[in-house]
């Protein structure tokens, strides 16, 4: 691979981190050395993952290689989508406006709230007993 034709970006969502590499190709998506269809069984996950490519008409223009760690399915899909979006902006800065309007550029800051001491969970309390 030539360095000038490889675009790298890191995407994050919840506790998942996705390192994405885009190279000119025919639209192959490899996640953790497995095809996308084998890695994500949910059809909705595949749709979310390809949203930035469909929006910019680049679905069959680039081969995508992803290394993703942490989180669950939802977090990993969001992290990969974020990484693909950032890499597409590196390739063509003019795409930023349409990707930003769709809400793909900004990292989703929502994470699980921590459990507090003296409580059952983040917000849940132990049941109060009068006697």
- 3-class SS at 63? strand
Write the secondary structure of 110-125 as one string of H (helix), E (strand) and C (coil). Answer: CCCCCCCCCCCCCCCC
pLDDT computed for residue 8 by the predictor: 97
Residues 17-37: what's their mean pLDDT? 96
Q: What CATH code is assigned to 3-102? A: 3.30.230.10
d(CA 29, CA 35): 6
Every domain of the chain and the residues it spans? 3-102
pLDDT digits (tens, 9 = 90+) for 62-112: 999 999 999 999 999 999 999 999 999 999 999 999 999 999 999 999 999
């Amino acid at each position: 691979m030539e360095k000038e034709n490889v675009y790298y970006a890191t995407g994050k969502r919840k506790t998942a981190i996705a390192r994405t590499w885009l190279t000119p190709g025919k639209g192959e998506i490899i996640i953790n050395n497995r095809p996308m269809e084998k890695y994500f069984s949910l059809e909705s996950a595949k749709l979310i993952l390809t949203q930035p490519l469909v929006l910019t008409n680049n679905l069959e223009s680039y081969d995508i290689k992803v290394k993703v760690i942490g989180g669950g399915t939802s977090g990993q899909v969001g992290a990969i989508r974020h990484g693909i979006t950032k890499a597409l902006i590196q390739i063509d800065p003019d795409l930023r406006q349409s990707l930003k309007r769709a809400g793909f550029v900004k990292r989703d800051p929502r994470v699980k709230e921590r459990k507090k001491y003296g409580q059952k969970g983040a917000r849940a309390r132990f049941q109060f007993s009068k006697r």
